[in-house]
Structure 1
């Protein structure tokens, strides 16, 4: 299966990746919907925009316990594999549903963050921008991060109930239209509009490979399905190589 996957990569001219929470679980970041995922421990509406405004203290308690530790997590072999493929001119773009910044930590440059980033923040009243480190300092002495104008500060992530950034979505759809191979890594493909991207790719003649433990919404249409720990599979790819990572 590893050699088949690498041969498909090698024969493709325009490869893109779509990543979800499952690519980061080997790094220690929990996913959402698995048996031990975030939704087994926190309210399922914790990422709803209405929840944020209704109970910002509750959200920032969740932020302290779950989102803040993301800053200390290191990328795993799967992130490094995608970064190396980009550096070698094989992978054109990585489209991610994740907010953890691990693709950039691994060395990827062309990353389209559909759902924003845990590293960026702004005041909802005056739009002043803030870094993760400044929010961390505020939270050490308060339940909420507040701007000098007394406005509530929110992370630059896309909450449920909000639209995806138009530019990011346009770029993602454009790549999906142009690619001849899409690799989906660690996404169950149930959250739209990201889940629509493999359908766009397939409709335009591309092949779709899914690397994910468990079923996805595209299993019946994909050209190859690999159910394995993504970090372990990436290590096998590095070992076989076929000249892709040298």
Structure 2
């Protein structure tokens, strides 16, 4: 266990205080003991996918690196939807190329070995399933789908991308020609929702997708935007899983927003042990019986090795 250090704090966008200095609680051996007892529910955040090339939203102090489009902005105007889809059209191509990393594979292996009963993920990238995890609740939806807010028609993101390509000939070439002003931001600015920084003049030339059934431009990725509520059925099912778990293991989440933090709070309320593995401090540190502030990949490598027969 690391020695106590002065606590420095920063103000979150959610007006919560997040410690910048971290203090571990427990050891890897304690984590091994907890996981080996089984009945585990994993709660994963954006940090589990960063090794797949998908940056997370927040820096070490919990401050957002980028401001995502909110639900109110998206539904507020056709221009906002055009801006979202133009940026997402570019970002999706890198996002869709992402593949599971060792973190996802470790979680899948723990499930196959009988230690993990379910995964609740805040991510919309589908990488847990791609790695082989079977029982996954996508708390914030999936970018693989799009839904029309007017008539409810659901379409695959792949087919939607093909339609946008046909409606916007030469758009990728114009994006590439922007070179030093836009292209240099490609790596740093792809967000966990597949969005990307894009010049205003490119956005203005983009034709946003329309629903093939009702014709409206109210097509939205089937994900929960900031400012939008997680479906109650998913929240209730997640609470049920947490309440019946042997332990809750948080991987790669700052827990800065209530959509994930509430499950840590519920676990503590009902006496379910909470373990948190992230590199930075989290909003749920005070609720955890084990907290390890370390890079996720080597920690899970060590955990997997310790659990091997």
What is the TM-score when the length of structure 2 is the normalising length?
0.72
The 8 Å contact of residues 96 and 111 in structure 1, kept in 2 or not, is answered as: yes
Offset, 1:68: 4.3
Displacement over 4 Å in runs of 4+: none
Offset, 1:79: 0.8
The 8 Å contact of residues 6 and 242 in structure 1, kept in 2 or not, is answered as: no
Q: 2:211 aligns to what?
A: 147
Offset, 1:38: 11
Distance 2:63 2:52 in 1: 15
Give RMSD over aligned pairs: 1.9
What 5-or-longer segments of structure 2 have no aligned partner?
1-26, 169-206
The 8 Å contact of residues 85 and 208 in structure 2, kept in 1 or not, is answered as: yes
Distance 1:74 1:202 in 2: 34
In structure 2, the residue corresponding to 1:156 is in which secondary structure?
strand
The 8 Å contact of residues 15 and 90 in structure 1, kept in 2 or not, is answered as: yes
In structure 1, the residue corresponding to 2:276 is in which secondary structure?
strand
The 8 Å contact of residues 49 and 162 in structure 1, kept in 2 or not, is answered as: yes
The superposition leaves residues 171-230 of structure 1 with CA deviations (integer Å, 9 ceiling, x where unpaired) of: 101111111211000111111132110111111111111011111111122111112221
Q: 1:210 aligns to what?
A: 276
Q: 1:22 aligns to what?
A: 47
Q: 2:83 aligns to what?
A: 58
Q: 1:102 aligns to what?
A: 127
Does 2:239 correspond to 1:170? no
The superposition leaves residues 45-90 of structure 1 with CA deviations (integer Å, 9 ceiling, x where unpaired) of: 41x1122133011111331243442221111111111111111221
Distance 1:68 1:158 in 2: 20
Q: In terms of Rg, which structure is larger?
A: 2
Q: 1:134 to 1:109 in 2, by over 3 A?
A: same
Distance 2:95 2:150 in 1: 27
What 5-or-longer segments of structure 1 have no aligned partner?
none
Q: 2:102 aligns to what?
A: 77
Q: 1:5 aligns to what?
A: 31
Matches within 5 A, 1:114-129: 114-129=139-154
The 8 Å contact of residues 31 and 38 in structure 1, kept in 2 or not, is answered as: no
Does 2:160 correspond to 1:135? yes
In structure 2, the residue corresponding to 1:122 is in which secondary structure?
strand
Deviates more, 1:104-113 or 1:155-164: 155-164
What is the TM-score when the length of structure 1 is the normalising length?
0.90
Q: State how many pairs are aligned.
A: 238
The superposition leaves residues 156-177 of structure 1 with CA deviations (integer Å, 9 ceiling, x where unpaired) of: 1011222111221111011111
In structure 2, the residue corresponding to 1:137 is in which secondary structure?
helix
